[in-house]
Amino acid sequence: MDYNKKKTLKDIQVLDKKVLVRVDFNVPLKDGQITDDNRIQASLPTIKYLVKQGAKVILLSHLGRIKSEEDKKTKSLAVVGQRLEKVLGQKVTFIPSTRGEALENAIENMKNGEIILLENTRFEDVKDNQVIKYESKNNPELGKYWASLGDVFVNDAFGTSHRAHASNVGISTYIPASAVGLLVEKELQMLAKGIDNPDRPFVAILGGAKVSDKIGVIDNLLNKVDKILIGGGMAYTFFAAQGHKIGTSLLEADKIAEAKRYLEIANGKIILPIDSATSKTFSNEKAEFYGLDLPDGVMGLDIGPKTIELFQKELIGAKTVVWNGPMGVSEFSHFAQGTTAVAEAIVGLKNAFTLIGGGDSAAAAIALGFKDDFSWISTGGGASLEYMEGKVLPGIDAIQAKQ
């Protein structure tokens, strides 16, 4: 799928136009307060560009999952509107509804350069305590209605582009003009550079808990990469496939045959750990280290020191590195060594293009202080994973192509 043929902001006229922008304001909240505004910050370039070009900017986003009327009390975008106003230094009018007269009038009376933020698009998933999923199942009537509020649609929410929702695919389908925003454009360029047109040697590093989460990625990348380093809980299913003892480590027994098959067809491209940092319980107690076979009653929670050394060696000279998934339970300090060491090894590479494909590895790298040291850290966990699997992203597929 060549997403570089999709219209970008430079391909559309926005002066005097009502521009609907799907942003990703799905920020973490604690006690009603935003704990991390990275996603709000990431949307600023597109919003500022549209304001400067004289557009009337109408923002749509979801926040969390809405399964009951009760959820709506804690998942309003009002708090996001306040934070956006602060970081943007410009008034943002929050409309506490997703449709209706108040919203329509507010849009009708907008002046160029003004900004409106709608209520959480997933409020449309529940009506009178009935789960109807109008937003998340792309109800055509809702997509048509939202499209009718604007002249142009811009998708700048990469994080939801792997989902066909009314607020991305629905609006794109029924509006005269559409384009991707600056953030989505950059995401697509960076993912294409890392995965579709890599400089070699090209090394992928896969971690995380489950093989089942990464099967599509292994399928798509095995033909493209020079090496795949595998860590995290998923490694133990591969060990089991080789006949090693894995104690009480995470195992997907139904994926052993799959792991065997990958090892057979990989021609030595798959590099597995050679030791583990373990614990008797899933807790942050001091690690004990074992080689390839683990005794009964012990679970592997991170790669061990010999594996760290091995992975560092395998990364020497790499020109493209794509990383998805931590090497261990990185939220436990005793089992964060593998993830930290891999991040440091990647960051230390000279003249390499280094990309983290969103999700837990992105959160870990940022938490460890490496935010600015990678070529690109993707903002979309599921979307970047599906891109790495070679799947079509419906939210981007629905955007108009350049003429």
- 3-class SS at 132? coil
The values of phi and psi at residue 124, to 5°, are -75, -5
∠291-292-294 over CA atoms, to 5°? 80
In angstroms, rounded to a whole number, what is the distance separating the alpha carbons of residues 78 and 144?
Answer: 25
Question: For residue 206, what is the DSSP state?
Answer: E
In angstroms, rounded to a whole number, what is the distance separating the alpha carbons of residues 192 and 190?
Answer: 5
Pair of tokens at residue 86:
């602060």
Query: What residues are annotated to the active site?
Result: 39, 210, 359, 382
Given CA atoms 143, 149, 154, 158 in this order, what sign does their dihedral have?
negative
Binding site, annotated residues: 24-26, 39, 62-65, 122, 163, 214, 300, 331, 358-361
Percentages of the chain per state (helix, strand, coil), in multiples of 5: 40, 20, 40
In angstroms, rounded to a whole number, what is the distance separating the alpha carbons of residues 320 and 326?
Answer: 18
Binding site, annotated residues for ATP: 214, 300, 331, 358-361
Binding site, annotated residues for (2R)-3-phosphoglycerate: 39, 122, 163
CA nearest neighbour of 113 among 91, 133, 134: 91
Asked whether 17 and 56 are in contact (CB, 8 A), the reply is: yes
Asked whether 14 and 59 are in contact (CB, 8 A), the reply is: no
Binding site, annotated residues for substrate: 24-26, 39, 62-65, 122, 163
Amino acid letter, residue 36 = D
Taking the alpha carbons at both ends of the chain, their separation in whole angstroms is 17
Name every residue whose Cβ is closer than 8 Å to that of residue 204 and which is 6 or more positions away in sequence: 217, 221, 225, 227, 228, 229, 321, 322, 323, 324
Pair of tokens at residue 384:
């970047």
Asked whether 202 and 224 are in contact (CB, 8 A), the reply is: yes
Name every residue whose Cβ is closer than 8 Å to that of residue 296 and which is 6 or more positions away in sequence: 245, 247, 248
In angstroms, rounded to a whole number, what is the distance separating the alpha carbons of residues 285 and 335?
Answer: 9
In angstroms, rounded to a whole number, what is the distance separating the alpha carbons of residues 181 and 157?
Answer: 8
